[in-house]
Structure 1
Amino acid sequence: MSLAPDRGGALLAWRIGGEDMLRPAPVDARDPLAMASFPLVPYANRVANGRFAFGGRNYCLPRNFGDHPHSLHGLGWLSRWEVQAAGPDSATLCHDHPGSDAWPWPYSATQRIELTGRGLTISLVLRNDATGTAPVGLGFHPYFPISRASFLQFEAAGLWLSEPPDHLPLALAPADGLGDWSTGAAAKGTSLIDHYYAGWDGVAILSDHARRRLTLTATGARGLHVYRPPDAGFLCLEPVSHMPDVINRPDGMDELEPGQSRMLTMSIALSVDED
């Protein structure tokens, strides 16, 4: 396991027996999108045009991803994290935000990363350090290597359809609208998937013909965001606490009172069928 606290508190690589469980970052990579995984805090995915209302006030976040029209993935992935503790099989990273135009509410975020046998567990906690109520969202953005032999399986209640270039949720559709993942389908494909699956049961499985299986589980995640570029050698399975642009939706974002915390945990485990 290799970490990059100075590059968004990201994971650079995770290997078991010399085999990559996550897509490894290139040597000396600085781009967060080149990492093996990174945390999403204090919100996940997109805030439409960076604009929203909360607590009777209007806010406009700056663009944080080139010419992309929306604010994306929060602040953690673009910030330096401090190492609070480190050992051979675990580390604790911290990221404190004092409040700014990029996110008005101060918070403290902590990642606990731990290797356990053939597994990896990361817990992400955010504490509201503001003097008033603050919105909160959490997630993880891991990249999984895939091939034509890779199959993906998970259960969800529905799929939020979206269209380029905005990729903002438009309408709720049956979960099998882009493939019947409930019974397992080819992970690699020729079309772009950049969609949020609502009512995810917290488990996703990537398997291949070599009887190798990676099982992702999450607690604190309401949905799974799947990002798969066409004909790419990877896909992202992102456990998140909310759908894209939820802060502008009727249900709104989760809220924390001063001093309250919210946690999301992701575990990935390898198993091999010996039969």
Structure 2
Amino acid sequence: MALLRRAPQDSHDPLDMASFPLVPYANRIAHGRYSVDGRSYQLPLNFGDHPHSIHGFGWQRPWHVLEQSGHDVRLEQTHDGDAGWPWAWRAQQHVRLSEDALDVTLLVQNLGDSPMPCGLGFHPYFALDGDTMLRFHADTLWLSSPDMLPEREVPADALGDWSQGARVTGDSLIDNVHGGWDHVAVVDRGDGIRLTLTAEGSDWLHVFRPPAGDFFCLEPVSHMPDAINRPEGMAMLAPGATQSLSMMVAVREI
């Protein structure tokens, strides 16, 4: 029984996996361009013909195993700084499985000598059937422009009555971020399984549902898309400092 989307056998594409980490930023940076302290930078456009840089770049680079046991693994990745992201950093993932939960912690440390913009997130894919229901509470929803950047703030349930619980399936695209969510999302499947996602420290929840698909994504993230180019900005991580984000997906029968 697949609770998250099952990866195809022998696939090495992160986009085929059950989940992947978002580091050192989450979601989109418009056209890959941004400025910090008066200096402008250009990130690679890393998602086919999509016009923006997306999901950070930690998901597209190797992670090295630090420790591993039967149900527990620690992974590490380092970035030495380059033209698109000049700050050096070290990231780690700690993934733990138990009988009734998946628990993942992601952290990043600024190894440079100047403050670094920093954002984190998770991108889990949930298996979807026609009876799957989703429930969570949030304050607002951002509708997107045609190229999928936040454009207009509206009531949180404008695309689904998620606060009361609503069916996930549909024939339209949902690819939108919710602000002020309460860090808990409940997924009730048609087979009587309840998945409860909790993610303390993530002020935003991005919901992705492709039309008529067999999966959907609930992405707890620390900032909204393109925050680095918006007045709200992104958090700045001091030299030597660490930022972290944790996600748990608990499983039980209902």
**TM tier, shorter chain?**
over 0.9
- Please point out which of 171, 178, 182 is paired with 1:190: 171
Q: Equivalent residue for 2:112? A: 130
Alignment partner of 1:21 is 2:3: yes
1:49 alignment partner, SS class:
helix
Q: Equivalent residue for 1:5? A: none
Q: Please give the TM-score of this superposition, normalised by the length of structure 1.
A: 0.91
User: Could you tell me how far apart the structure 2 residues matched to 1:154 and 1:145 are?
Assistant: 18
Alignment partner of 1:76 is 2:62: no
Q: Equivalent residue for 1:174? A: 155
Q: Equivalent residue for 1:93? A: 75
The Cα of 1:115 is off from its aligned counterpart by 1.1
Q: Which amino acid aligns with 1:231?
A: A
Alignment length, in residue pairs? 254
The Cα of 1:149 is off from its aligned counterpart by 0.8
Q: Which amino acid aligns with 1:122?
A: V
Unaligned runs of 5+ in 2: none
Q: Equivalent residue for 1:248? A: 229
The Cα of 1:28 is off from its aligned counterpart by 1.5
Q: Equivalent residue for 2:238? A: 257
Q: Equivalent residue for 1:208? A: 189
Alignment partner of 1:104 is 2:86: yes
1:64 alignment partner, SS class:
coil
The Cα of 1:173 is off from its aligned counterpart by 0.5
- After the TM superposition, list the runs of 4 or more consecutive aligned residues in structure 1 that deviate by more than 2 angstroms: 208-211
1:219 alignment partner, SS class:
coil
- Please point out which of 217, 223, 241 is paired with 2:198: 217
Q: Which amino acid aligns with 1:100?
A: D
1:230 alignment partner, SS class:
coil
Contact 1:62 1:101 in 2 (8 A): no
Q: Which amino acid aligns with 1:251?
A: E
User: Could you tell me how far apart the structure 2 residues matched to 1:68 and 1:219 are?
Assistant: 30
Map residues 60-71 of structure 1 onto 2, 5 A cutoff: 60-71=42-53
2:170 alignment partner, SS class:
coil
Q: Equivalent residue for 1:234? A: 215
What value does the CA root-mean-square deviation take over the aligned residues?
Answer: 0.9
Map residues 152-167 of structure 1 onto 2, 5 A cutoff: 152-164=134-146, 166-167=147-148
The Cα of 1:56 is off from its aligned counterpart by 1.7
User: Could you tell me how far apart the structure 1 residues matched to 2:11 and 2:137 are?
Assistant: 34
Identity, in percent, stands at 51
Unaligned runs of 5+ in 1: 1-18
The Cα of 1:208 is off from its aligned counterpart by 2.6
Contact 2:129 2:190 in 1 (8 A): no
User: Could you tell me how far apart the structure 1 residues matched to 2:85 and 2:252 are?
Assistant: 40
Q: Equivalent residue for 1:12? A: none
Q: Which amino acid aligns with 2:207?
A: V
The Cα of 1:54 is off from its aligned counterpart by 0.7
Q: Which amino acid aligns with 1:230?
A: P
Q: Equivalent residue for 1:13? A: none
2:199 alignment partner, SS class:
strand
Alignment partner of 1:45 is 2:30: no
User: Could you tell me how far apart the structure 2 residues matched to 1:67 and 1:220 are?
Assistant: 32
User: Could you tell me how far apart the structure 1 residues matched to 2:120 and 2:86 are?
Assistant: 17
Contact 2:139 2:179 in 1 (8 A): yes
Q: Which has the higher contact order (CA 8 A, sep 6+)?
A: 2
Q: Which amino acid aligns with 1:225?
A: H
